[in-house]
């Protein structure tokens, strides 16, 4: 009886100790064998993917499975390939500095291809930046979607829509990745968000709003905030007409912006990348009232320090 009581106390203590180290609720399952309490599972989501295997030595996963860790993968980056499926496979799977973890083809019954294991770096992001993080190849998973990209028509870019089955595949895959790595909604981004001066993908035809509303994927503003900020907007008045204030707001959300205080070419490209993501109906690189209001609404929702 005394032993059982001690075991109970020990199990309770373990629960308290393990819970203290993390803000997340952690379930501790225990098993009692001959007066010894074994932790069978600290967190149902916790698992080992790769580990050393040494002939002649035992490497145990059971003794001290630590909860003091987080995932290396922090970002999910969306792309389109520009090329058709066979060419995309050739480019992404050959030896060289271009690859991606996943590839979604343009045929409805094709499988979703995994080209690079999730625990390895793929080379899809290039020189990149998001909210203080650089070289996002180190910390991201990349999804490439077969889509021809854009055509130039009278100086404007006309993008090709994604197919319905591609959108559904992207949604299912993204949701699964986001859940497994607990990726922050603001870290689900496009290539043009993290490299706005040189990249256009996945472009304004990518259904960011639908992914958010239908599948709870990524970040999106609340309409009530957008209209509230819009009602405050006074044209030709500081801070609404200030390039510096706009650049600071873009930087606060995540973009790499040089705080030049001018409506220069780079700032225009970054605003256009922002619009492709959050106001695809009109992506002209102009910091108009609606763009300003959406940016403020996003910063209020995701970037305000509480
Ligand atoms: Zn890309």
Q: Sorting pLDDT into bands at 50, 70 and 90, what band is 70?
A: confident
pLDDT at 272: 98
CA distances from 218 to 128, 178, 301 (A): 19, 9, 13
- Ligand 1 centre to CA of 59 (Å) is 40
User: Looking at the DSSP assignment, which residues form a beta bridge with residue 85?
Assistant: none
**130 three-state secondary structure:** strand
Q: Is the pLDDT of residue 113 over 60?
A: yes
d(CA 194, CA 304): 21
> Domain spans of the chain?
2-41, 75-215, 223-302
pLDDT at 9: 52
pLDDT in tens, 2-30: 555 555 554 554 444 444 344 445 555 56
- Ligand 1 centre to CA of 194 (Å) is 10
CATH value of 75-215 in 3.40.50.1100, 3.90.1300.10, 3.40.80.10, 1.10.260.40: 3.40.80.10
- Ligand 1 centre to CA of 262 (Å) is 28
d(CA 141, CA 180): 12
d(CA 78, CA 80): 7
CB 176 within 8 A of CB 64: no
Give the mean model confidence (pLDDT) for residues 216-232: 98
- Ligand 1 centre to CA of 151 (Å) is 16
134 carries an active-site annotation: no
Q: Lowest mean pLDDT: which of 13-17, 160-164, 175-179, 203-207?
A: 13-17
- Ligand 1 centre to CA of 305 (Å) is 31
pLDDT at 259: 98
Q: Helices (DSSP H) in 156-288: which residue ranges?
A: 164-181, 191-194, 208-215, 223-232, 243-253, 265-278
Which is nearest to 83 in space by CA: 98, 95, 62, 70?
A: 98
Q: Is the pLDDT of residue 146 over 50?
A: yes
d(CA 15, CA 217): 33
d(CA 55, CA 59): 10
Active-site option among 51, 134, 144, 251: 144
- Ligand 1 centre to CA of 155 (Å) is 22
Architecture of the domain spanning 223-302: Orthogonal Bundle (1.10)
pLDDT at 63: 83
- What distance separates the 2 farthest-apart alpha carbons in the chain? 85
- Ligand 1 centre to CA of 239 (Å) is 34
Residue 119, Cα to own-chain centre: how many angstroms? 16
Q: Is the pLDDT of residue 55 over 70?
A: yes
In degrees to the nearest 10, what's the CA dihedral of 285, 288, 289, 294?
0
């Amino acid at each position: 009886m005394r032993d059982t009581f001690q075991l109970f106390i020990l199990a309770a203590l373990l629960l308290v100790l393990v819970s203290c180290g993390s803000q997340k609720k952690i379930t501790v399952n225990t098993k009692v064998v001959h007066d010894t309490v074994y932790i069978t599972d600290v967190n149902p989501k916790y698992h080992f993917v790769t580990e050393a295997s040494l002939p002649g030595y035992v490497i145990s996963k059971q003794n001290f499975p630590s909860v003091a860790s987080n995932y290396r993968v922090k970002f999910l980056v969306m792309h389109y390939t520009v090329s058709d499926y066979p060419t995309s496979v050739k480019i992404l799977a050959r030896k060289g500095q271009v690859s991606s973890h996943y590839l979604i083809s343009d045929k409805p019954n094709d499988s979703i291809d995994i080209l690079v294991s999730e625990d390895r770096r793929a080379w899809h992001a290039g020189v990149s930046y998001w909210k203080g993080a650089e070289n996002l190849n180190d910390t991201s998973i990349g999804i490439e979607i077969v889509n021809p990209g854009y055509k130039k028509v009278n100086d404007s870019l006309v993008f090709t829509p994604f197919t319905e089955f591609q959108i559904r595949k992207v949604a299912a895959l993204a949701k699964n990745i986001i859940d497994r790595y607990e990726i922050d909604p603001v870290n689900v981004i496009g290539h043009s968000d993290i490299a706005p001066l040189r990249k256009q993908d996945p472009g304004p035809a990518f259904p960011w709003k639908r992914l958010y509303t239908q599948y709870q994927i990524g970040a999106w503003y609340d309409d009530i905030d957008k209209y509230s900020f819009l009602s405050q907007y006074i044209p030709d008045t500081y801070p609404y007409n200030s390039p510096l204030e706009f650049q600071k707001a873009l930087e606060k959300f995540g973009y790499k912006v040089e705080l030049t205080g001018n409506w220069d070419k780079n700032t225009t490209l970054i605003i256009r990348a922002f619009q492709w993501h959050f106001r695809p109906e009109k992506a002209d690189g102009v910091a108009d009232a609606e763009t300003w209001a959406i940016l403020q609404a996003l910063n209020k929702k995701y970037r305000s320090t509480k």
